[in-house]
């Protein structure tokens, strides 16, 4: 059954609130019942250079088991695989069982409302938010969705600010101030820097 217009509006309103990066991460067991606190751990990365002719040489950093998921999802949704990979690293440290205190889950730290919104757009009736391929797909879809908003567009700083802080908060900030990175919340400024300056 496809969502009603009211359901769609509720989901859009809910996903306008971002999941913040400083929230304590946990992982849950396969039964999804027991929540266990866990420190982020950096896996071993394979550094892949997609195009050495790029003006700014940027390495693609993703664990081998996830790299194809990232590349494929980024290509399907028309977003940068470099940006998506670095976002996931900042969000979860590549922990597929990560869950924040706000309830954002998986590699790309997807909120339940965001997952339902994109699942409906993809006509997925069932999904496992902790499945790495699915979670990465939602992360790529959400970046692509944010880029369609007229006050964000293809600006990576704005996309990341919206992903972290929520696009509703960012819209109000832009209306009130224009986009001024230096007066964004400290956490969001740190988040942007952590990804774009990695």
Tens digits of per-residue pLDDT, 130-171?
999 999 999 999 999 999 999 999 999 999 999 999 999 999
The answer to whether the beta carbons of residues 169 and 19 sit under 8 Å apart is no
The domain locations on the chain are 5-196
Q: Is 2 exposed, middle or buried (0-12, 13-18, 19+ CB in 10 A)?
A: exposed
Checking if the pLDDT of 176 tops 90, the result is yes
The answer to whether the beta carbons of residues 164 and 142 sit under 8 Å apart is no
**Which fold is adopted by the domain 5-196?**
Lysozyme (1.10.530)
Q: Could you tell me which residues are beta bridge partners of residue 60? A: 48
* Phi, psi (degrees; rounded to nearest 5) at 163: -65, -40
The secondary structure of the chain in percent helix, strand, coil, rounded to multiples of 5, reads 50, 10, 40
82: alpha, beta or left? (left if phi > 0; alpha if psi -120 to 50) = alpha
CA torsion sign, 72 to 77 to 83 to 86? negative
Percentage of residues in the chain having pLDDT higher than 70: 71
Interval 92-111: pLDDT, tens: 999 999 999 999 999 999 99
Residue 103: both structure tokens together: 């309830």
Checking if the pLDDT of 182 tops 60, the result is yes
Quick one: pLDDT at residue 58? 67
pTM of the model: 0.76
Q: Could you give the CA distance from residue 154 to residue 150 in angstroms, rounded to a whole number?
A: 9
Identify the CA nearest to 169 among candidates 185, 156, 182.
Answer: 185
């Amino acid at each position: 059954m496809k969502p009603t217009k009211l359901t769609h509006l509720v989901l859009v309103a809910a996903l306008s609130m971002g999941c913040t990066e400083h929230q304590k991460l946990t992982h849950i067991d396969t039964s999804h019942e027991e929540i266990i606190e866990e420190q982020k751990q950096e896996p071993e990365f394979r550094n892949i250079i997609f195009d050495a002719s790029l003006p700014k040489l940027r390495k693609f950093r993703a664990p081998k088991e996830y790299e194809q998921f990232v590349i494929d999802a980024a290509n399907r949704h028309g977003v940068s695989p470099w940006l998506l990979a670095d976002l996931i690293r900042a969000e979860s440290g590549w922990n597929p069982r990560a869950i924040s205190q706000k309830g954002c889950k998986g590699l790309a730290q997807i909120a339940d409302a965001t997952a339902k919104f994109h699942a409906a757009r993809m006509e997925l009736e069932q999904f496992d938010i902790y499945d790495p391929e699915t979670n990465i797909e939602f992360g790529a879809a959400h970046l692509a969705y944010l880029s369609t908003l007229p006050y964000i567009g293809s600006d990576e700083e704005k996309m990341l600010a919206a992903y972290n802080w929520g696009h509703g908060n960012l819209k109000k900030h832009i209306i009130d101030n224009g986009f001024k990175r230096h007066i964004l919340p400290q956490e969001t400024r740190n988040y942007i820097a952590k990804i774009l300056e990695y």
